[in-house]
Chain A
Amino acid sequence: MNHHPTNEVLLKHASGLLTDSLGLIVACHIDMCESCCKTYKQYEALAAEMVVESSGEQVSPELFDRMMASLDQVREIEADPATVPGLPKPLWRLVPQGLDQLNWKGMFKSVQTFDVETGDPRYVGRFYKILAGSKLPQHSHRGNEITLVLKGSFSDEMGRYNEGDFIVANETTEHQPVAGMEEDCICFAVLDAPIRFSGLQGLILNPFMAK
């Protein structure tokens, strides 16, 4: 793995500021990348420290009384989503059928896609499958796209991307990806929804420029 989110993105995520599809794909990378996971946990501690350092705001006395009175009541616990082998944990609820059962679509056998319903109006969540050794046509991007390699590998003019790599593309990116020969390459990507091509502001985008 050579391509990671920046430290600023990890700290933003730890601070709870990436709450849409951007947070989802960052979480997927953290789930796959031991080194980012470790750094991320430090940033969680840092975010927590900022919270306890704050001067605080008075809570109403009723809150305390109410809680103490019902401390021992039995409360419902939400069930965790079922395990889906081969997928990072953050995708388990959205893609319970797993990668093998996806309803792939596409005009060409060499590259197929599956759009996942995330409920996020700003971004599309999309799986790509590129057949081993296949070449995509040269293309540029109309908006911003963050790609995470789930399986296999691909290369373009800028480099080679393996499992877990986190790749940022935007309007200035023009490339021709080629899947590795060893197996089909499967990626998960988050891209600006068509209605909002210039959706990401520089503020959010810049931290996403991969290391």
Chain B
Amino acid sequence: MEPNLNELMTRIANDRDRQAFSQLFNNIAPKLKAFLRKAGLSSENAEEIIQESLFTVWDRAAQFNSSKASATTWIYTIARNKKIDWLRKQGRQPMTSSELWPDLPDESAEIDPDSDLNLATVRKLLDHLTIEQRQVVYKTFFEAKSQSEIALDLDVPLGTVKSRLRLAMKKFENFMSVN
């Protein structure tokens, strides 16, 4: 069974629980690695960024607030931000993560601490898409591919990629406006 990351985070924050951290590492590190590798980083550099990210997770565990975001989202944003700061140090990006993703105002998007609602809602959202739409969304936003690359990948006309993405975004938009 998948460990509950929110629970692990709570144990890390309250008890400095190393066992919880190692479980969290085993669960999330490979996912982060895939994310960083898709962005074109070498295995070695990806692991360097994972190390920085997960040290931050350990060091700042007390700042994790499950009523504001799920543990998954919180850890993801840390890794995404570390990636940008790492690229900036290499002279490959102009902006710092504090410019692109500053701490946002607290009043918005409170979530139910017990149900991991944010994640549940988002899963539901992805489930609304057809397999074809989901594929295009995944390639566009997770794999950072251009529409023509996706058309080649899937062996479909560019127009098909565009319309799938448009329909998927339309579903997201409708969903966002009622939630």
Q: Which residues in A have some Cβ–Cβ distance to B below 8 Å?
A: 6-8, 11-13, 15-21, 23-24, 27, 30-31, 34, 37-60, 63-64, 66-68, 71, 75, 77, 80-81, 89-94, 118-121, 203
Contact = CB atoms under 8 A, between A and B. Distances in A.
Contacts, number: 191
Interface of B: 18, 21-22, 25-26, 28-35, 37, 39, 43, 47, 50-51, 54-55, 58-59, 69-70, 72-73, 75-77, 80, 83-84, 87, 93-96, 98-105, 107-109, 118-119, 121-123, 125-126, 137-138, 141-142, 144, 146-147, 165, 169, 172-173, 176, 179
A59 B123 CA distance: 26
Nearest to B29: A59
Given A16-B84, A57-B34, A57-B37, A31 B102 contact: yes
A12 B30 CA distance: 22
Contacts of A60: 43, 47
A56 B33 contact: yes
B86 to A, nearest CB: 12
Nearest to A64: B25
Given A20-B94, A30-B104, A39-B176, A55 B34 contact: yes
Given A66-B51, A68-B18, A41 B104 contact: yes
